[in-house]
């Protein structure tokens, strides 16, 4: 019964969330649709980053660079006559290939050096955009992007993009789930614990890390491509360093290395970001306030999660769920042993010899056995 329930609950939860995500856009207003799309795009990026951090043990502070590369790839190609669907499909391919090229020297670094190396990738990306104004539009950006079309269908409003993002997000989560349960996924888990230990057991460490890095960049690339068509305008200001930090915080909040944690962390941090932006853009407040507020609140959220829920929200919930499942059968078994002892007269005999009252399940022990 317990095993069956354990298997049914996740399936029910997945179906419920999927149906809710499918129906929610039908009732959302235009501003809320933008938030919905932003949550979906962030989930796609964070799904890949969660695999990179939680399985390969590699921290990336430059994920927004690949997000921007995907956006600029789709925008530039579509503005130069490439069909919009093809431009969108080429975004993850170009981002992934670029990640493979960059990752060969970059992934030789470890720990903080790797984090700073990925941060350098982000800074180089932001520095190159103004220098390639002929193609990228420079600091002004690219505008008047054509509408994304698939066959005869054109994506004209936020609701259309909401459904598109939902489909891509589900595909990304399924891919991440399958990778985590595959042989490469187990190899990545071993690498996160010990690179030398994983290498000693036959795991091709460098190849696995490079593929994981490229996969996370490809997911960021397709999310960036959708973002470009959804907004219709892109500029370097849309891909700041703070965005890369937000992606990392989303991973930590949801749970590093958990597939469902990507959605939870992305949703929570995106909503917090929207609230802070609304508060900081009041007419009587300075324009720098949203950034300052974001940095301060993100720092507090990160500290709170690391102190109280080091495995993230999903990890904390699963821990409580598993603890409840362990306690319930123990209490049930203790009650049955107590009734059996009373029916056989054992408890009465013990009471007669010791003069103590009969223990109850609420006492936490039965006949001297503690409930574990």
- H or E element, residue 255: none
**Percentage of the chain exceeding pLDDT 90:** 40
Q: Report pTM.
A: 0.81
CA quadruple 269, 262, 328, 366: dihedral sign: negative
Q: Which of 56, 44, 54 is nearest to 92 (CA)?
A: 44
Instruction: Check whether 148 has a pLDDT greater than 50.
Output: yes
Averaged over 137-151, what is the pLDDT? 90
Domains plus CATH for the chain? 21-278 (1.10.3470)
The reported pLDDT for the residue numbered 351 is 46
Residue 276 has pLDDT above 60, yes or no: yes
Q: How confident is the model at residue 165 (pLDDT cuts 50, 70, 90)?
A: very high
Distance CA 297, CA 276 (A): 9
Q: Please give the full DSSP string across 167-222, using - where no structure is assigned.
A: HHHHHHHHHHHHHHTSHHHHHHHHHHH-HHHHHHTT--HHHHHHHHHHHHHHHHHH
For residue 229, pLDDT over 90 is answered with: yes
Reference 66, options 121, 112, 131; nearest CA is 121
133 vs 334, more confident: 133
Of 44-58, 230-244, 309-323, the least confident: 309-323
| pLDDT for the residue 352 | 44
More confident residue, 11 or 345: 11
Angle, CA of 132, 134 and 136, to the nearest 5°:
60
């Amino acid at each position: 019964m317990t095993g069956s329930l354990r298997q049914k609950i996740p399936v029910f939860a997945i179906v419920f969330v999927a149906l809710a995500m499918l129906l929610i856009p039908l009732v959302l207003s235009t501003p809320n649709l933008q938030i919905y799309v932003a949550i979906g795009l962030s989930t796609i990026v964070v799904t890949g980053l969660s695999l990179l951090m939680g399985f390969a043990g590699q921290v990336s502070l430059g994920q927004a660079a690949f997000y921007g590369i995907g956006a600029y790839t789709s925008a530039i190609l579509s503005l130069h006559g490439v069909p919009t669907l093809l431009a969108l499909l080429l975004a993850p391919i170009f981002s992934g290939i670029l990640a493979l090229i960059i990752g060969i020297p970059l992934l030789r670094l470890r720990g903080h050096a790797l984090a700073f190396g990925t941060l350098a990738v982000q800074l180089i990306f932001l520095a190159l955009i103004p220098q390639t104004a002929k193609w990228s539009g420079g600091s002004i950006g690219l505008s008047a992007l054509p509408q994304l079309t698939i066959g005869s269908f054109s994506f004209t409003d936020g609701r259309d993009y909401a459904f598109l993002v939902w489909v891509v997000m589900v595909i990304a989560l399924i891919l991440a789930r399958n990778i985590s349960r595959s042989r490469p996924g187990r190899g990545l888990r071993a690498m996160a614990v010990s690179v030398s230990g994983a290498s000693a057991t036959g795991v091709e460490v460098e190849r696995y890390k490079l593929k994981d890095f490229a996969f996370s960049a490809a997911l960021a690339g397709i999310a960036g491509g959708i973002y470009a068509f959804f907004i219709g305008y892109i500029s370097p200001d849309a891909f700041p360093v703070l965005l890369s930090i937000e992606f990392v915080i989303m991973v930590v909040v949801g749970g590093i290395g958990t597939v469902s944690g990507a959605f939870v962390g992305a949703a929570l941090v995106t909503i917090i970001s929207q609230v802070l932006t609304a508060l900081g853009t009041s007419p009587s407040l300075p324009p720098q306030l949203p950034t300052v507020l974001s940095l301060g609140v993100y720092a507090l959220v990160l500290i709170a999660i690391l102190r109280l829920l080091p495995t993230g929200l999903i990890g904390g919930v699963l821990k409580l769920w598993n603890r409840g499942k362990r306690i319930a059968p123990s209490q049930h078994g203790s009650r049955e042993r107590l009734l059996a002892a009373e029916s056989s007269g054992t408890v009465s005999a013990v009471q007669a010899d010791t003069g103590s009252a009969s223990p109850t399940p609420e006492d936490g022990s039965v006949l001297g056995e503690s409930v574990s």
